[in-house]
A and B are shown apart, each in its own frame.
Chain A
Amino acid sequence: QKEVEQDPGPLSVPEGAIVSLNCTYSNSAFQYFMWYRQYSRKGPELLMYTYSSGNKEDGRFTAQVDKSSKYISLFIRDSQPSDSATYLCAMSSSNQGAQKLVFGQGTRLTINP
């Protein structure tokens, strides 16, 4: 079983819809949680960065972390065709130093005009 599980999709929704992307994890030591967006043939772009449990909002994006359920979510409101990309969740534990991100497989999202 992988440390981080993410439904690879593909997920296709109409423009303007609310999108919900999710990851589950098994390592209770994870404390830092990130969402990245990756366009084809590009590097991952950091969208959201959160520490421990709670919610964080940035524009149309909201990240939620529920450590008790080992479950994280990313919500995209008023989705746009430009949001079409692969979304990757990533996480890290504090005792791994600055970086040893563990990634989900990524969810391929398409927003249809």
Chain B
Amino acid sequence: KAGVTQTPRYLIKTRGQQVTLSCSPISGHRSVSWYQQTPGQGLQFLFEYFSETQRNKGNFPGRFSGRQFSNSRSEMNVSTLELGDSALYLCASSSGQGAGRTEAFFGQGTRLTVV
């Protein structure tokens, strides 16, 4: 069974640009969540999508947005990049319903560097 796939693995962007990250969840999983990991703040929740609808949202500015497609694949977009957006962005996949619905499996992450 394939795991969670995130692309690209590495990105270097210039301040002010925008970026789109992609996540393909485990087959059959309908929930995709995004997290930002930095040395100072650790892992912080960005948002969660379930069946193409945003179900939860963390405390991040509106520059951070996402969407989910009918095949459960998800994209995350960050506009007007700032130096502080440099981080490892992680995608987590879960069934999203029933027993074990919070059991989350992570991808390898996309390391974003803003220069």
Contacts and interface: CB of A to CB of B under 8 A. Distances in A.
Interface stretch (B11-19, B63-71, B95-103): B95-103
Nearest to A36: B106
Of residues B97, B103, B107, which shows the largest number of chain A Cβ atoms within 10 Å of its Cβ?
Answer: B103
Interface residues of B, number: 31
A23 interface: no
B41 to A, nearest CB: 9
B48 A98 contact: yes
Contacts of B96: 97-99
Question: B-side binding surface: helix, strand, loop or mixed?
Answer: strand
A92 B33 CA distance: 13
A43 B103 contact: no
Contacts of B56: 96-97, 99-100
Given A44-B90, A103-B43, A106-B42, A98 B107 contact: no
Contacts of B107: 43
Contact of B101 (A34, A88, A98, A102): A98
Contacts of A99: 31, 33, 45, 48, 56, 92, 94, 96, 102, 104
Size class of the A contact interface (CB-based, 8 Å): 20 to 34
Scoring A88, A90, A106 by chain B CB atoms within 10 A of each residue's CB, the highest score goes to: A90
B106 A97 contact: no
Given A43-B6, A43-B109, 19 more contacts: A34-B104, A36-B106, A41-B111, A43-B107, A44-B90, A46-B104, A49-B100, A90-B43, A92-B102, A96-B56, A97-B48, A97-B50, A98-B33, A98-B94, A98-B96, A100-B58, A101-B43, A103-B44, A104-B42
14 contacts: A36-B106, A41-B111, A43-B90, A43-B108, A49-B102, A88-B43, A97-B48, A97-B50, A98-B33, A98-B55, A98-B95, A99-B45, A100-B48, A103-B44
Interface of B: 4, 6, 31, 33, 35, 42-45, 48, 50, 55-56, 58, 90, 92, 94-97, 100-109, 111
